Amino acid sequence: MARSLKRPRTDVTTVILYIFLVCTGLLMIYSVGAPPDGYTGSTLNLLTTPFGKQFIWAGISVGVWVCINYLIDRKVWVVGAYPIYAVTVLLLLLVLVVGKEINGARSWFSLAGFTFQPSELAKFGACLAMAAFLSQYSGKLDQLRTVVYGCIIWLIPAVVILGQPDMGSTLVFTGFLLVMYREGLTPLLFVLGGFTAFMVVLGILFPFQYLLVALLALCVLLYALSLPRRSKLYGLLGGAAGAAAYVGVQSGYGWQSAAGLGILLFALIGYHLSQRNTRLVATSLFFISWGLALTFTANYVYTSDVLPAHQHERIVVWLHPEDADPRGSYYNLLQSKLAIAAGGLSGRGLQQGTMTRFDYVPEQQTDFIFSAIGEEQGFIGVGMLILIFGLLLYRITVIAERQRRTFARAYAYGVAGILLVHFLVNVGMTMGLVPVIGIPLPFISKGGSSLLSFTIMIAVMLKLDKHRGEV
């Protein structure tokens, strides 16, 4: 059979989406940072501005893209996955020693006026390492040992970055759970993780005794609904227990309600054990015990002096904004919300956003650039941006699913997980949906190392996809 002469092609749709996002970022950085009368002087003066530096990084990224696509064989990324990962981890350790400290975090190398953040490159290294690992242990994520080994790969750079400290970059590594789920990780772990996060938040928002009453009432209701039809009395008791819990909490008798619910719960547990319904009893007792431990610990940590002052302030701003100082830590978020609201439907136009251009919103070119888009482009602009990001993530999943090799599929899902966490946290942060932890918006925020690392991730993914038909 004659060999096909058709040359492999790069996925054009992904390239177009990438170019659109990068150009949007350059445009917004220019719009936010440009003086009212525009830049004056030579081109060299323009290149020293934030827009100019980002433009230079964009040019470097294009050059790296070309090298990856035309000069570097795809096998380099497969064979060199673990060595590249090891180098990125070493850079993370080195920056702790000789790095430059900015805003309280020692996360940057500085040279000739340019700074580079190795944590961005570590995400790419972790993507390669996870892909290499999963290509060896595909289908074995139902074994605890394999899951632990896989988590260690992304936990190592995450822990090192946490020591810088950089909570935002640390959180991004949880995106690798997406690729682990695709390759066979049980969804029960995600249920447990979601329950854990939910109970921690509730433990900060409400007093412990009220959460104790709520959990006990929920457990009683679960047991009551699990009774056979002939035991209508128990069903009525379950409903009455829920009503009693509500009344007890509303009247301030939380501990008394908890005691009454505990007695009823004990009786229902005894009945289910007599019916040998041990799985229901074991599962419910685990979740109620774990939930109570989480809420008690979260409440204690929040109300005591365990947390550093700046982390405690971030939690207050997120969950208790009514107690936050509008002139202190709440200022950034408040101004960000005002800027987004000021944009209305169609926005104020480029270079017309007073909230962002006159520095009412701090870090408007980096962490809070989404608020600048909201003010200048309005609901239509941010809606288009969200749509483009959604299309990019969808396209990456399409690319991932058409791969014949586990390495390429796992790598693509790793890229998707990182982009998803970056996007959700940054957008949520500017609107107060998640804590303000400082994380760039991919391809949009000012930051050369971020743009370069995301470009490398996309370029390598497209390189692997380009040769997906080869054996």
For 441-462, the pLDDT digits (tens) are 999 998 888 999 999 999 999 9
Instruction: Sort residue 242 into left (φ over 0), alpha (ψ -120 to 50) or beta.
Output: alpha
The answer to whether 21 and 444 have CB atoms below 8 angstroms apart is yes
- Note down the domain range covering 203: 194-303
Asked if 166 and 202 sit in the same domain, the reply is no
Quickly tell me which residue has 């946490």 as its tokens: 162
3-state class (DSSP) for residue 323: helix
Q: Does some domain include residue 310?
A: no
Rg of the chain over all Cα atoms, to the nearest angstrom: 26
User: Which of 303, 325, 348 lies at the terminal end of a domain, its last residue?
Assistant: 303
3-state class (DSSP) for residue 3: coil
For 161-214, the pLDDT digits (tens) are 888 777 888 888 988 888 888 888 888 888 888 888 888 888 888 888 778 877
Asked if 178 and 257 sit in the same domain, the reply is no
Quickly tell me which residue has 């972790």 as its tokens: 126
Asked if 366 and 246 sit in the same domain, the reply is no
Average per-residue pLDDT for the chain: 82
CA–CA separation, 101 vs 86, rounded Å? Answer: 23
Asked if 31 and 174 sit in the same domain, the reply is yes
Task: Give residue 11's pLDDT.
Answer: 86
Asked if 358 and 462 sit in the same domain, the reply is yes
User: Which of 259, 283, 303 lies at the terminal end of a domain, its last residue?
Assistant: 303
What proportions of the chain, in percent to the nearest 5, are helix, strand and coil?
70, 5, 25
Asked if 142 and 201 sit in the same domain, the reply is no
Asked if 248 and 149 sit in the same domain, the reply is no
Asked if 211 and 170 sit in the same domain, the reply is no
For 267-292, the pLDDT digits (tens) are 777 777 777 777 877 888 888 888 88
Please count the structural domains in the chain. Answer: 2
pLDDT at 13 over 80: yes
For 59-102, the pLDDT digits (tens) are 999 999 999 988 888 889 999 999 999 999 999 898 888 877 77
User: What is the C-alpha end-to-end distance of the chain, expressed in Å?
Assistant: 16
Kindly write down the DSSP assignment for every residue of 415-444, as one continuous string.
HHHHHHHHHHHHHHHHTTSS-----PPTTT
Bridge partners (DSSP) of residue 111 are 114
Q: Does some domain include residue 130?
A: yes
Task: Give residue 6's pLDDT.
Answer: 54
Q: Does some domain include residue 317?
A: no
Asked if 296 and 349 sit in the same domain, the reply is no
Bridge partners (DSSP) of residue 101 are 106
Strands 114-116, 100-102: pairing kind: unpaired
Task: Give residue 361's pLDDT.
Answer: 80
100 contacts: CB under 8 Å, gap ≥ 6: 106, 108, 109, 110, 115
Which CB contacts under 8 angstroms, 24+ apart, belong to 280-284?
Answer: 280/222, 280/223, 280/226, 284/219, 284/222, 284/223
Give this prediction's pTM: 0.85
CA–CA separation, 36 vs 464, rounded Å? Answer: 45
Q: Does some domain include residue 1?
A: no
User: Which of 286, 303, 320 lies at the terminal end of a domain, its last residue?
Assistant: 303
**Which is more confident, 44 or 22?**
22
CA–CA separation, 29 vs 22, rounded Å? Answer: 11
For residue 33, what are the CA distances in angstroms to 91, 147, 346?
A: 31, 46, 21
Task: Give residue 53's pLDDT.
Answer: 86
Q: Does some domain include residue 327?
A: no
pLDDT (mean) for 131-146: 82
Asked if 179 and 33 sit in the same domain, the reply is yes
Asked if 139 and 174 sit in the same domain, the reply is yes
Which CB contacts under 8 angstroms, 24+ apart, belong to 401-405?
Answer: 402/465, 402/468, 403/464, 403/465, 403/468, 404/468, 404/469, 405/135, 405/464, 405/468
Task: Give residue 242's pLDDT.
Answer: 58
- C-alpha closest to that of 389 among 450, 443, 446: 443
Q: Does residue 165 have a cis peptide bond before it, meaning omega lies within 30 degrees of 0?
A: yes
Q: In this structure, what is the dihedral angle of CA atoms 194, 200, 205, 209, given to the nearest 10 degrees?
A: 110
3-state class (DSSP) for residue 133: helix
Give the number of C-alpha atoms closer than 13 A to the C-alpha of residue 274, restricted to the C-beta side.
7
Highest mean pLDDT among 98-112, 164-178, 299-313, 410-424: 410-424
Asked if 212 and 174 sit in the same domain, the reply is no
The alpha carbon of 83 is separated from its chain's Cα centroid by a whole number of angstroms, namely: 26
